[in-house]
């Protein structure tokens, strides 16, 4: 059977999955010894990561709005007057001088992200649990096991001590919107523990209505506690024994079983994208615990499980297993390095990406940030923020194809929330219509260029975010959605239509000043320079943005004069050019790159996630893309290797895509790859690699960017057989397919 099928002529051959479905997950046989061994739970708003210790357990708690910072005036009103000079200098070949001027004049006001004014996503708190056990001289612990069940969204710990079976189950309920820990012990009165909150900054706790409450204020970026108010509460429902609540802890003594309920909240209003002083987070959490604690755990758990699996079970992937497939996850990861025939680990990794998306966002919430939802520090790497030159977008690569389309919506809503801020930035810096955002974002509407132009001058963040709107439409065919979000795409297109400038040397329309994220080149004098006029990524992004907007108006039957202007400008955009080494040129001149192995591969945006480069349209550019990747090398940060899996999949090279996947799955230790809990290592942990890697596996299995569906475009020969159900393709369809001896046996598009 052919692997390519024109979408319209969809075949309807039943594929037999045959085997009963097993839950997807992994386990450890010891408590976590580092945070990267804890297992992530989340319901799109609150997150929990239990360490699972026998005498001391600790749950890292997260709440998606937990951000320091505040709305700041960051657009520099002086900047616009320098734009013409900066551009002239660039076009005169005085790149270094242009860059110096950009550093002086074309940045945000204030200290930006480095100074903390910008704010950062951070841990909510830790919930510490200290256990005491009935006295015994025998201190051994037997049969310890710590599980993550991804199909159901559950974590558990079980062990035997002094002949007593202990069991803890942790959920972040999708339906009650609270965290619950169920604790059981066989026999009677064997459960005694103490709970308290811990946080590495100023906070207070007190007892209220059988709850232990934590509260505090975050920094607004200027003062230490003038920002967001937060509060969390925990309470215990016991079966036997006693419970005592003081201002600092809850003590449970001699219970048979117990349930811990907890909730967290801030006074940030996502729908308004600002702090609402009228919101009382303490009241919120106390009310939610009062409502949920009366419900039987069994009922809470089964509702949660149903809601979770309704999302998770949409996709199934079966790949060959070997004897390592049943090992604890840390050992399994290490074994895969030596023997990659445990292809089932690849299926697990793909599903883990879907699991993380289900857990870290939901309708009405925020999109996952650099930490996803899971931060264990106050000062998170890169502020745990939103980066728009690859990272936030990569977080959403598995959303559509992975059959979690509704989880793409928070990104759209976030993008739309940037528009009014970005309109102001567009006027101030570029005297242009429309809206722009540069590379960094936060909860406070920051759209200015960042403080350091070497990475902060990129201005195509908004253009890139808009491709997600169009792709969501392509996958869902949801016309109402497209109509609702058309103004966002229009605003981004209007901006570029206005700000593009003609390069007098070539006649091409270019973005300027800009960068090719976050690489630098040597100018003719040998200076290291990042700021440039036009970059290949920008050209490709703007070309795609204009094309998508025009197509969207056609789909919606709208007449818009902007389309005429864009159609006139499109042929004037600089094309993607092959450089002297046969590579895709990264900038508009064939400069020598400072870091040939740079982690960003921005000039291949048109290969993936874009679709400017394909074998049918641009075979010579596909060859140049291959050369580019060879020159760039394979080893890099987690997200970079994840991106390269997608590139090689688009180049239809299954062996090389698999090689990159193996690099990504390399046990990270202190370096790059994957941590024991399967979190991606930049290092440190950064969630984008997980999402990009999951998307890469999907891209190896099925592609749909050329108006047809291609099954198994890039699988390695070692994946001799497999079964896949539920991935989505453009055109609003799902697929199911099965292969044997590397050949498609049957397939279905529905
Ligand atoms: C970009 C990348 C870095 C890191 C940061 C969060 O700036 O270049 O590698 O991923 O985002």
Smallest CA separation from ligand 1 atom 5, residue: 382
Ligand 1 centroid, distance to 545 Cα (angstroms):
23
Smallest CA separation from ligand 1 atom 10, residue: 391
Largest CA distance in the chain: 85
Ligand 1 centroid, distance to 387 Cα (angstroms):
7
* Rounded CA separation 725/360 (Å): 23
Closest CA to 650 of 711, 725, 714: 714
**For ligand 1, mutation pick of 370, 371, 382 (most atoms within 8 Å of CB):** 382
**For ligand 1, mutation pick of 385, 518, 530, 688 (most atoms within 8 Å of CB):** 518
**Strands 521-522 and 528-529, sheet pairing:** antiparallel
Ligand 1 centroid, distance to 370 Cα (angstroms):
9
Pinpoint the alpha helices (H) of 667-729: 688-701
Query: Hey, how many other C-beta atoms are within 10 angstroms of the C-beta on 18?
Result: 8
SS3 content of the chain, % helix, strand, coil (to 5): 35, 25, 40
Q: What is the pLDDT of residues 331-385, one digit of tens each?
A: 999 999 999 999 999 999 999 999 999 999 999 999 999 999 999 999 999 999 9
- The pLDDT of residue 3: 64
- The pLDDT of residue 113: 86
Alpha carbon distances (Å) from 708 to 8, 170, 476, 501, 730 = 8, 43, 15, 36, 8
Tell me the average pLDDT across 307-316.
Answer: 98
* Rounded CA separation 597/621 (Å): 20
Give 687's pLDDT tier (boundaries 50, 70, 90).
very high
Smallest CA separation from ligand 1 atom 6, residue: 382
Q: Which ligand 1 atom sits closest to the C-alpha of 439?
A: 7
Ligand 1 centroid, distance to 274 Cα (angstroms):
26
What are the backbone dihedrals phi and psi of residue 354, each rounded to the nearest 5 degrees, phi first? -65, -40
Ligand 1 centroid, distance to 650 Cα (angstroms):
23
Q: Is the pLDDT of residue 116 over 80?
A: no
HEC per residue, 89-155:
HHHCCCHHHHHHHHHHHCCCCCCHHHHCCCCCECCCEEEEEEEECCCCCCCCEEEEEEEEECCCCEE
- Give yes or no for a contact between 231 and 281, defined as CB atoms under 8 angstroms apart: yes
- The pLDDT of residue 5: 57
**Which segment of 10-24, 56-70, 193-207 scores lowest on mean pLDDT?**
10-24
- Give yes or no for a contact between 314 and 726, defined as CB atoms under 8 angstroms apart: yes
* Rounded CA separation 425/412 (Å): 20
Q: Is the pLDDT of residue 624 over 70?
A: yes
Q: What is the pLDDT of residues 449-494, one digit of tens each?
A: 999 999 999 999 999 999 999 999 999 999 999 999 999 999 999 9
Closest CA to 40 of 303, 316, 352: 352
Residue in the structure block whose two tokens are 């883990």: 352
* Rounded CA separation 360/352 (Å): 12
Q: What is the pLDDT of residues 559-572, one digit of tens each?
A: 999 999 999 999 99
Q: Which ligand 1 atom sits closest to the C-alpha of 389?
A: 1
Q: What is the pLDDT of residues 212-234, one digit of tens each?
A: 999 999 999 888 889 999 999 99
Ligand 1 centroid, distance to 373 Cα (angstroms):
17
Q: Is the pLDDT of residue 18 over 80?
A: no
Q: Is the pLDDT of residue 10 over 50?
A: no
- The pLDDT of residue 290: 97
Ligand 1 site residues (CB inside 6 A) read 370, 382, 387, 391, 455, 518, 599-600, 637, 639, 682, 686
Q: Is the pLDDT of residue 573 over 50?
A: yes
- Residue 124's Cβ-side half-sphere holds a number of Cα atoms within 13 Å equal to 30
DSSP H/E element including 348: helix 344-360
- Give yes or no for a contact between 44 and 749, defined as CB atoms under 8 angstroms apart: no
Mean pLDDT, the chain, integer: 96
Give 2's pLDDT tier (boundaries 50, 70, 90).
low
Beta strands in 319-441 (DSSP E): 386-387, 440-441
* Rounded CA separation 81/79 (Å): 6
- Give yes or no for a contact between 667 and 683, defined as CB atoms under 8 angstroms apart: no
**Strands 164-172 and 229-239, sheet pairing:** unpaired
**Strands 211-217 and 204-208, sheet pairing:** antiparallel
- The pLDDT of residue 561: 98
* Rounded CA separation 67/444 (Å): 10
Ligand 1 centroid, distance to 28 Cα (angstroms):
30
- Give yes or no for a contact between 586 and 603, defined as CB atoms under 8 angstroms apart: yes
Q: Is the pLDDT of residue 11 over 50?
A: no
Ligand 1 centroid, distance to 531 Cα (angstroms):
17
DSSP H/E element including 546: helix 536-556
Ligand 1 centroid, distance to 513 Cα (angstroms):
20
- The pLDDT of residue 562: 98
Q: Which ligand 1 atom sits closest to the C-alpha of 455?
A: 7
Q: Which ligand 1 atom sits closest to the C-alpha of 370?
A: 6
Beta strands in 227-347 (DSSP E): 229-239, 242-245, 250-255, 257-266, 268-269, 274-275, 316-318
Q: Tokens representing 472?
A: 């969501």
* Rounded CA separation 95/704 (Å): 41
Q: Which ligand 1 atom sits closest to the C-alpha of 517?
A: 8
* Rounded CA separation 322/389 (Å): 39
Q: Is the pLDDT of residue 288 over 60?
A: yes
- Give yes or no for a contact between 641 and 664, defined as CB atoms under 8 angstroms apart: yes
Ligand 1 centroid, distance to 59 Cα (angstroms):
28
Residues contacting residue 464 through CB under 8 Å, at least 6 positions apart: 388, 389, 393, 541, 605
* Rounded CA separation 403/705 (Å): 16
DSSP H/E element including 166: strand 164-172
- The pLDDT of residue 652: 98
* Rounded CA separation 24/476 (Å): 27
Angle between helix 561-569 and 536-556 (nearest 10):
150
Tell me the average pLDDT across 694-704.
Answer: 98
Alpha carbon distances (Å) from 460 to 261, 382, 438, 549, 556 = 44, 20, 6, 15, 25
Ligand 1 centroid, distance to 505 Cα (angstroms):
33
Ligand 1 centroid, distance to 640 Cα (angstroms):
10
Which of the 8 DSSP states describes residue 677? T
**For ligand 1, mutation pick of 379, 383, 595, 686 (most atoms within 8 Å of CB):** 686
Give 20's pLDDT tier (boundaries 50, 70, 90).
low
Higher pLDDT, 202 or 633: 633
**For ligand 1, mutation pick of 390, 442, 598, 680 (most atoms within 8 Å of CB):** 390
Q: Is the pLDDT of residue 8 over 60?
A: no
Smallest CA separation from ligand 1 atom 8, residue: 518
Q: Which ligand 1 atom sits closest to the C-alpha of 387?
A: 11
Q: What is the pLDDT of residues 528-548, one digit of tens each?
A: 999 999 999 999 999 999 999
Tell me the average pLDDT across 676-689.
Answer: 98
- % residues pLDDT > 70 (the chain): 97
Closest CA to 311 of 179, 398, 407: 407
- Give yes or no for a contact between 679 and 36, defined as CB atoms under 8 angstroms apart: yes
Ligand 1 centroid, distance to 298 Cα (angstroms):
43
Q: What is the pLDDT of residues 509-520, one digit of tens each?
A: 999 999 999 999
* Rounded CA separation 101/81 (Å): 11
Ligand 1 centroid, distance to 672 Cα (angstroms):
14
Q: Which ligand 1 atom sits closest to the C-alpha of 688?
A: 10
Q: Which ligand 1 atom sits closest to the C-alpha of 385?
A: 6
Tell me the average pLDDT across 312-329.
Answer: 98
Q: Which ligand 1 atom sits closest to the C-alpha of 639?
A: 10
């Amino acid at each position: 059977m052919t692997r390519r099928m024109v979408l319209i002529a969809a075949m309807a051959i039943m594929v037999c999955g045959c085997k009963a479905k097993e839950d997807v997950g992994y386990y450890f046989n010891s408590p976590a010894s580092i945070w990267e061994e804890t297992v992530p739970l989340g319901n799109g708003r609150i997150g929990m990561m239990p360490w699972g210790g026998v005498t001391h357990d600790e749950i890292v708690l997260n709440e998606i709005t937990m951000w320091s910072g505040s709305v700041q005036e960051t657009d520099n009103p002086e900047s616009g007057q320098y734009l013409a000079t900066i551009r002239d200098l660039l076009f005169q070949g005085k790149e270094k001088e242009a860059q110096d001027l950009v550093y002086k004049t074309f940045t945000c006001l204030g200290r930006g992200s480095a100074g903390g004014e910008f704010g950062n996503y951070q841990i909510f708190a830790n919930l510490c649990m200290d256990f005491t056990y009935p006295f015994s001289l025998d201190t051994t612990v037997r049969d310890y096991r710590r599980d993550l069940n991804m199909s159901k969204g559950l974590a558990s710990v079980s062990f035997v001590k002094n002949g007593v079976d202990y069991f803890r189950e942790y959920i972040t309920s999708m339906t009650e919107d609270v965290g619950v820990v169920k604790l059981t012990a066989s026999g009677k009165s064997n459960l005694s523990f103490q709970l308290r909150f811990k946080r590495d900054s100023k906070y207070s706790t007190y007892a209220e209505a059988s709850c232990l409450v934590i509260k505090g204020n975050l920094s607004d970026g200027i003062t230490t506690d003038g920002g967001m108010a937060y509060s969390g509460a925990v309470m215990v429902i016991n079966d036997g024994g006693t419970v005592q609540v003081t201002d600092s802890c809850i003590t449970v003594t001699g219970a048979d079983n117990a349930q811990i309920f907890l909730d967290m909240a801030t006074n940030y209003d996502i729908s308004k994208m600002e702090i609402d002083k009228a919101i009382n987070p303490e009241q919120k959490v106390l009310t939610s615990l009062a409502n949920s604690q009366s419900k039987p755990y069994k009922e809470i758990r089964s509702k949660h499980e149903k809601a979770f699996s309704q999302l998770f079970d949409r996709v199934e992937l079966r790949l060959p297993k070997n004897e390592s497939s049943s090992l604890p996850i840390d050992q399994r990861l290490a074994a895969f390095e030596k023997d990659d025939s445990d292809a089932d680990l690849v299926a697990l990794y793909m599903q883990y990406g879907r699991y993380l998306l289900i857990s870290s966002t939901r309708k009405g919430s925020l999109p996952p940030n650099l930490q996803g939802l899971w931060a264990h520090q106050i000062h998170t790497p890169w502020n745990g923020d939103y980066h728009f030159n690859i990272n936030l977008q990569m977080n959403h690569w598995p959303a559509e194809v992975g059959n979690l389309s509704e989880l793409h919506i928070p990104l759209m809503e976030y993008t739309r929330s940037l528009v009014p801020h970005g309109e102001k930035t567009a006027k101030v810096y570029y005297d242009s219509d429309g809206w722009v955002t540069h590379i960094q974002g936060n909860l406070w509407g920051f759209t200015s260029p960042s403080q350091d132009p070497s990475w902060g001058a990129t201005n195509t963040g908004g253009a890139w975010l808009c491709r997600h709107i169009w792709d969501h439409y392509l996958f869902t065919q949801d016309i109402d959605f497209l109509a609702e979000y058309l103004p966002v795409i229009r605003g981004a297109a209007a901006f570029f239509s206005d700000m593009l400038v003609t390069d007098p040397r070539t006649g091409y329309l270019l973005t300027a000043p800009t960068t090719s994220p976050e690489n630098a080149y040597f100018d003719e004098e040998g200076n290291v320079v990042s700021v440039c006029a036009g970059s290949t990524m920008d050209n490709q992004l703007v070309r795609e943005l204009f094309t998508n907007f025009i197509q969207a108006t056609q789909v919606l039957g709208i007449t818009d004069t902007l389309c005429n202007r864009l159609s006139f400008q499109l042929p004037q955009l600089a094309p993607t050019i092959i450089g002297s080494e046969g590579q895709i040129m990264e900038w508009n001149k064939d400069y020598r790159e400072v870091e040939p192995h740079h982690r960003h591969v921005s000039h291949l945006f048109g290969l993936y996630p874009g679709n400017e480069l394909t074998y049918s349209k641009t075979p010579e550019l596909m060859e140049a893309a291959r050369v580019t990747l060879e020159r760039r090398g394979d080893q890099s940060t987690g997200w970079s290797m994840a991106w390269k899996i997608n590139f090689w999949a688009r180049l239809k090279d299954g062996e090389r895509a698999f090689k990159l996947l193996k690099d990504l799955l390399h046990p990270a230790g202190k370096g790059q790859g994957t941590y024991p809990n399967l979190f991606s290592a930049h290092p440190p942990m950064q969630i984008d690699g997980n999402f990009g890697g999951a998307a890469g596996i999907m891209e190896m299995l099925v592609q749909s960017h050329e108006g047809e569906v291609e099954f198994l475009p890039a699988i390695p020969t070692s994946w001799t057989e497999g079964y896949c159900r539920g991935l989505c393709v453009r055109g609003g369809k799902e697929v199911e397919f099965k292969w044997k001896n590397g050949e498609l046996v049957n397939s279905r598009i529905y």
